[in-house]
Structure 1
Amino acid sequence: MSRRWSLRGKEIAVDDEDVVPAGLPERLFATDRFPCERINMYSTIDFLLCVRDALNGTEEMAMLLRSCFGTLFRFPVRRVLMGKVIHGMLTRQVLTKKKYELWPVFGGNPFRFSLVEFGEVTGLPCDEFEEGYSIDYELPATEENYAYWERLIGPDRDATIADLVAMVLGDTGMPASRKLRLCLIIIVDGVLVPTSQIQKPSLKHVNLVKNIKNFLAFQWGRESFAWAIRTMKPCPKKLRQKTLRILGFPLALQLVAFELIPHMQG
């Protein structure tokens, strides 16, 4: 057992097998053979600015800042580079047998990106899911399950996150409780766990937001990380494609790099 320091300066114990040896493992690509293609990330960080504008100065915004989502509103949104930086890190990683870790290399030194680092930079809860839960589970599209959707969003079952943004910004007379719930859906399905290029509300998330306490207690960090890591560790062939689809919240990888390599922030 050895010791290491977390991103926030806390000393933690790690297994010796987690420590990268002095001689780096094999890289995914040779150092002069990196592909230079484009990443298509479904997460839209600007939706956080929309939520802040919609709830600015309200008790609902104050509650959000105190919640598990509070750290999201302190991100350097205007300075993130997203696709270009993240693609560079994905192509400059060393190979690891661990399914839920990345080891990008910067300046000749690798750094780990795992659920631990994801939770530290996002502040999101990353504990275990309830037994039997799967991120791939979707509620059946029954009339019963759409009943609350119609109360919260309306009759349009093809509504997008952009539609929800227009609703919360445009309807000044909207009840505060409804606006808060719509904003929570925008955060989750537009920023943390979008699963399509045109982001849409998830039926299971809409039903979950009926109870705000349960919604805020959900393990959003683990959910978002799970979606991201499964698409951030593609085979080399996919990284050479003209576009690469990344789900979840891949910005967390850049935020980890920002904390470890401060001069990257410019």
Structure 2
Amino acid sequence: MGDPLPLRLALPELRYPIGSEPEKTISINQHSIVAYIKTVKEILGNDEFNRIRGTFLGPVIKLGERSLKLSAKIVHAVLTKSIKTVKRHEAWFHFGAQPMRFSIREFHMVTGLKCSGEAREPREGTEKFKWDFLKGRTHTVKDVEKQLRNTREDASDERFCLAMLLLIESILLQKSLLDGGTTFTLDYVKIAQDMDVLMTYPWGRTAYNLLLKSLQRAVDKSLDKNNYDLQGFPMAFLIWILESVPLLQYAFSQVVPILSVQPSTPIFLCEKYLQIASPQLIDVLLIEIKDHVSFYIIFFLFCLMILHLKANYFYGFSLRSHASYLLFLMIQKLMFAWKTKLIKIWMTWPIYPREVISLKLEIGETCQ
């Protein structure tokens, strides 16, 4: 016989206990620059740019061309619901009492970027492109853009490699926009000079690790501040949130109709999104509360059905004539929900959703 199951199961430890999450008016500084997609397209022209569109960057480019903005309130709301974990290479969150994992697998499903495999070193003797910024020890995306503009139009492979490097660094790997932007070492440049290595390098793993560390740092140190930074490609995290919580997706985004998806090519999640709204924080929290509202409505109707059957069977009368008794039961159920702070309803009609729910305000206070 194996060990008996424990009588009490401990719930995961939350970074912030339910009801104590930071609710400041915040803004998130993201450094991913999708505007470089338009820049590269203007430099290369449609024919050369279509070659890049057909690479592993295709799904990210499609998302970037739609000019979707990062919804800071949705991201912040989920970051405040972090679950503590000993796993360093993934992050866990909860929403509507459901745990959610963000790992490299989910990052790949969103972006389509290669996240596994060996990171091959550039082969010796492949430094065939004479780029000016190779003279220093570091470079920025501005240096790559300048080199791309100065490259001859008939050097298609060289322009292709430079354009790929520019898009990878500007969209996926940016850490800061201050003082001219992120400073990169020449390691990525050497990879870009070997086309085979460039096209097989696990850029997704590099981008995911940068984003994950930034998310973990924000959860540990920054959520009680008015603004904080997210490095890498935080739009992938936002899309993962919308995919993990369908209620948020339905409320705050517009996706491609499923019938218009071409089955012949793999469709990654970032390709689905046409629009993403920027709701207020209270609107996001309202979506989470709806689960509790639905639970109490269903529970009340279930109790009503049991009482009705019991009354018919034992006493031979219907509860329809006992409206006052039913009203008493309903008030009791609402008071229970109110006292447990799962939901507080401001009894006014009509009301816009953000004025209906307050997770922390005491009874009698107005929601701002």
**TM-score, length basis structure 2:** 0.54
Query: Among 183, 190, 201, which residue is 1:218 paired with?
Result: 201
Aligned position for 2:233: 249
Q: Which has the higher contact order (CA 8 A, sep 6+)?
A: 1
State the 1:106 CA deviation: 3.5
Distance in 2 between residues matched to 1:172 and 1:124, nearest whole Å:
29
Equivalent runs, 1:202-217 vs 2, <5 Å: 202-217=185-200
Please say if residues 185 and 201 of structure 1, whose CA atoms lie closer than 8 Å, have aligned partners that are also in contact: no
For structure 2, list consecutive stretches of 5 or more residues without a partner in the other structure: 1-8, 254-276, 278-368
RMSD of equivalent CA atoms? 3.5
Q: CA deviation at 1:251?
A: 1.8
1:164, distance to aligned residue in structure 2 (A): 3.4
* Matches for 1:27-66 after TM superposition, within 5 Å: 27-30=14-17, 31-36=19-24, 37-58=26-47, 60-66=48-54
Q: CA–CA distance in 1 between the matches of 2:166 and 2:215?
A: 23
Letter in 2 for 1:190: S
**Residue type matched to 1:175 in 2?**
A
Contact 2:127 2:194 (8 Å CA) reproduced:
no
Match of 1:67 in 2: 55
C-alpha contact 1:121 1:252 (8 A) present in aligned 2? yes
CA distance 1:102–1:61, change in 2 (3 Å): same
Change (3 A) 1:33 1:170: same
**Distance in 1 between residues matched to 2:114 and 2:190, nearest whole Å:** 20
Deviates more, 1:158-167 or 1:255-264: 158-167
| SS of 1:63 mapped into structure 2 | helix
Shift of 1:65: 2.3
Shift of 1:116: 0.4
Report if the CA contact (8 A) 1:126-1:221 is conserved. yes
Does 250-259 or 37-46 show the bigger shift?
A: 37-46
Show the 5 A alignment for 1:1-266. Answer: 25-30=12-17, 31-36=19-24, 37-58=26-47, 60-75=48-63, 77-130=66-119, 151-154=130-133, 157=136, 159-165=139-145, 168=148, 173=153, 175-197=155-177, 198-234=181-217, 236-260=220-244, 261=246, 262-263=249-250, 264-265=252-253, 266=277
Moved more, 114-123 or 73-82: 73-82
Amino acid in structure 1 at the alignment position of 2:89:
Y
* Equivalences, count: 232
Q: Which residue identity lines up with residue 218 of structure 1 in the other structure?
A: Y
SS of 1:194's equivalent?
coil
Cα distance, 1:74 vs. partner? 1.7
Q: Check 1:155–1:26 CA distance in 2 against 1; reply closer, same or farther (3 A cut).
A: closer
Deviation per residue, 1:220-260 (Å, 9 max, x gap)? 11111111112211353333345434332222111212333
Q: Residue 119 of structure 1: CA displacement?
A: 0.5
Cα 1:169–1:107, aligned 2, differ >3 Å: closer, same or farther? farther
Following the alignment from structure 2 to structure 1, what is the Cα–Cα distance between the partners of residues 40 and 95? 34
Give 2:56's aligned amino acid: C
Q: State the shift of 1:53 in Å.
A: 3.5
1:25 alignment partner AA: P
Identical-residue share of aligned pairs (%) = 21
Q: CA deviation at 1:166?
A: 5.3
Q: CA deviation at 1:181?
A: 1.9
**How high is the TM-score relative to the length of structure 1?**
0.71
Provide the C-alpha distance between the structure 1 equivalents of 2:32 and 2:71, rounded to a whole number of angstroms: 10
Report the Cα offset of residue 108 of structure 1: 4.1
- The aligned amino acid for 1:104 is F
Contact kept? 1:152, 1:182, Cα under 8 Å: no
Secondary structure at 1:229 match in 2: helix
Describe the superposition over 1:69-107 as per-residue Cα deviations: whole angstroms up to 9, x where unpaired: 111112164223254433332222222222122223334
